[in-house]
Amino acid sequence: MSWYQYPPYVSVAARKTKALKKIAKLTKAGKKLSPVQIEGRTIAKTFWGKAWCDNLESYSDYENRLPRGRSYVRNGSVLDLQISKGEIKAQIMGSDHYHGHIKIAPLSPDAWQKIKTECSGKIESVIELLRGELSQFVMEVITRRDGGLFPKPAEIKLDCSCPDWAELCKHLAAVLYGVGARLDSQPELLFLLRGVDHTELIAQAASTAIADGKGDAALGSSLSEVFGIEIAEETPSATVPTPARKTPALSPAPKIKSSKPSPAKKKKATVKKAKAPKKIPKDSEREDRIHNEIMVDCNGTEEESMSWYYYLQDKITFPFRALSITKVASSFGIGKKVIVKKMASEEDCTHFIQVLVKLDNSTCVVPLDTIAPLKADEETTEAIDDWTYYLKRTGGHPFLSHHDSR
């Protein structure tokens, strides 16, 4: 990687706008781009895409940089992703326009032969293989660390034109996640990347099928036919009504207009501070997770908020039942049982993490720390506790006064 003075920070919204303009400009100039576009919260949805991402996340070499990569790829920062034999080339929009180049070592002949031998007769068709409809045994053979299809860190060489001194910068981390997303629709690219022919895995089964007069139709099926059935796009949840979304943020406003109730306003502010003390004992395990997994290489308050946003979005399983523990509005008092449906939009979480909840027959957006899970899985509860802990450590203002003073 090259080294020079770091460029000024560019917000997520500005980066998205720059990315779209750059794509339009390059396309107009005759460049054929293949941008990575993520729909919904999940980066990869099929066996091959998930297996690629799981492989990356299993190595401690990458764990500190991957969270920022997830944020970048979700924001549409990977303008172009080209996968060929042994290499990945990409263009990424960060603070500037960067070029990334990743070399992947070919799978050794011995390793490939072993995989073919172990999978012989266990994969019936190209369709079954590329759909990821495989037995547990075949999945274990393909995804194992030693001798599997997926590359280890030692087999990956990274290079980016950005000024980051680290071998794996957030831009290349986004590219690696982009590969996982691309494998959802083009799983054969993994075999191309590793320099092997995927049809060799089903050669024996295919010859048997052809001998029985059943193989031609299966082998002749197109990938679009295969994945048009298998892959389904996530359906966005119902749009949050604008008035309801703004209820928590606007609730204090009427009390500021009149000079008489100002003492009451101060009392309420005092009560909130009492519920969120500025100083609580440090939890070393949470501190490590926050600074080495959630908020890695954040540049500015917006990146900090989006890092938390995507961490919580990844960890929390929606919907779940919860109990309101703070009065947010007249219709949302303490002790109300609600259903937490999903994260609020990115725009609603730039200064404070909020969620969309259903109360009776209405929905509204409320701060995450105003509810406590009643029925939620362990990972969901831990993620919410992480956020609540961080909120208390920053005095209740994680992306405002605490960080603006830096």
Structural domains in the chain, sorted by start? 12-230 (no CATH), 242-404 (2.30.30.530)
Rounded CA separation 305/174 (Å): 18
3-state class of 90 per DSSP?
A: strand
Rounded CA separation 82/89 (Å): 5
Judge whether 68 and 296 are in contact, CB under 8 Å. Answer: yes
Rounded CA separation 91/79 (Å): 5
Strands (E) located in 105-241: 156-160
3-state class of 318 per DSSP?
A: coil
The pTM for the full model equals 0.57
Rounded CA separation 296/63 (Å): 10
Lookup result for tokens 């203002």:
397
Cis peptide before 319 (omega within 30 of 0): yes
Per-residue three-class SS string for 260-286: CCHHHHHHHHHHHHHHCCCCCCCCHHH
Rounded CA separation 352/382 (Å): 18
The residue among 352, 353, 355, 351 whose CA lies nearest residue 342 is 355
Rounded CA separation 174/72 (Å): 6
The residue among 292, 248, 312, 277 whose CA lies nearest residue 395 is 277
What integer pLDDT is reported at residue 220 of this predicted model? Answer: 42
What integer pLDDT is reported at residue 35 of this predicted model? Answer: 92
For residue 108, what are its two tokens?
Answer: 């050794």
* Residuewise pLDDT in 10s, the chain (406 residues): 444 444 555 556 666 777 778 888 888 888 888 999 888 778 999 999 999 999 999 887 777 778 888 888 888 889 999 999 999 999 998 888 899 999 999 999 999 999 999 988 888 788 888 888 888 898 999 999 889 999 999 999 999 999 888 788 989 999 999 999 999 999 999 999 999 998 888 764 444 444 444 444 443 443 344 444 343 344 444 444 444 444 444 444 444 444 444 454 444 444 343 344 456 788 888 888 887 778 766 667 777 888 888 888 888 999 999 998 887 765 677 888 899 999 998 888 888 899 999 988 888 888 998 889 988 898 899 999 999 899 888 877 677 544 433 3
Rounded CA separation 93/16 (Å): 8
What integer pLDDT is reported at residue 74 of this predicted model? Answer: 85
CA-based max dimension of the chain: 91
What integer pLDDT is reported at residue 98 of this predicted model? Answer: 92
Judge whether 370 and 387 are in contact, CB under 8 Å. Answer: no
C-alpha R_g of the chain: 25
Rounded CA separation 180/45 (Å): 9
Which residues have CB under 8 Å from 326's CB, separation 6+? Answer: 272, 275, 334, 367, 369, 370
What integer pLDDT is reported at residue 154 of this predicted model? Answer: 93
Lookup result for tokens 């990347």:
193
Judge whether 129 and 116 are in contact, CB under 8 Å. Answer: no
Judge whether 68 and 75 are in contact, CB under 8 Å. Answer: no
For residue 84, what are its two tokens?
Answer: 């060929």
What integer pLDDT is reported at residue 42 of this predicted model? Answer: 84
Classify residue 274 as exposed, middle or buried by CB count within 10 Å of its CB (0-12, 13-18, 19+): exposed
- Residues paired with 362 in a beta bridge: 359
Rounded CA separation 99/89 (Å): 8
What integer pLDDT is reported at residue 209 of this predicted model? Answer: 47
Query: How many CB atoms sit inside 10 A of residue 285's CB?
Result: 9
What integer pLDDT is reported at residue 400 of this predicted model? Answer: 55
